[in-house]
Amino acid sequence: MATVIIPARFGSTRLPGKPLLAETGKPLILHVIDSVATAWTIDRIVVATDDERIAQVVRDYGDEAILTSADCRTGTDRLAETAEMIGLTDDEIIINVQGDEPQMPGWCVDRVADLLEHSQAHIATLATEITPEQAEDPRWTKVVFAKDGSALYFSRARIPHDRDNEGRAPYYLHHGIYAYRVGFLKTFSELPSTPAEQAEKLEQLRALEYGYRIIVDAVEYRGARIDTPQEYQQFVQHMKTKE
């Protein structure tokens, strides 16, 4: 069994207070909890936040929230601090689901947990094939991986570059879900930042630059990560159509 940790910050440059937005009748962070709670491989869900307002909303809902240090420089640091605070052992598996992915289904959580459990990788994650036009969007992280699933590179740019415009290579959107063992997470969080990580603003590149293996599985899920007011309104409309 695994523990899902959901980092949730109140501060957001493009969408302040994002976890508490509630035009659907329910705060966004609670949508994330409800979605991942359908996974069968987990026995615990913890929201890791630096804001008491978010923590209180989660607790009032009957779920677990941990207040982490405001000094955490990255989401990985927040994850590692939470793992220590709740007493997880080094061989336990953590699933990191982003606090702005309200449609991340439980089966994706199960898939990434199983992927890590049955591989020699240090990190497991998921991706979905997208069109060349979608791959142009720098807000979305793309990934290229080998035939055995090992990640080769992540980028905000369209990768791989189709030099002759022949359309031979597929493009994959990287989803913000990761599985780690606690022991590796502690090691990873203590590593100094690396050049590609700093350039792309993608923490997973630190793992690749230090030679750690990330395994990627392609899935059909194409949910919405919410970064802007427009994307939140799209989610609100989506939820209304389900009513």
Query: Residue 56's domain is classified under what CATH number?
Result: 3.90.550.10
**What is the pTM for the complete model shown?**
0.93
Question: Residue 131: inside a domain, yes or no?
Answer: yes
pLDDT in tens, 34-89: 999 999 999 999 999 989 999 999 999 999 999 998 777 777 888 999 999 999 99
The number of distinct structural domains making up the chain is: 1
pLDDT of residue 223 exceeding 80, the answer is: no
The DSSP H or E segment spanning 152 is: strand 151-155
Whether residue 96 lies inside any domain: the answer is yes
21 in a domain, yes or no?
A: yes
- Please enumerate in sequence order all residues whose Cβ is within 8 A of that of 19, keeping only pairs 6 or more positions apart, or say none: 8, 9, 10, 27, 28, 29, 49, 51, 54, 57, 99, 100
pLDDT higher than threshold 70 for residue 222? yes
Phi-psi label, residue 211: left if phi above 0, alpha if psi -120 to 50, beta otherwise = left
Domain containing residue 96: 2-225
The residue with greater pLDDT, 33 or 240, is 33
What pLDDT was estimated at residue 243?
64
Tokens of 224: 């919405």
Note whether residue 150 is domain-resident: yes
User: Could you tell me if residue 234 is inside a domain?
Assistant: no
Determine, yes or no, domain membership for 102: yes
* 237, part of any domain: no
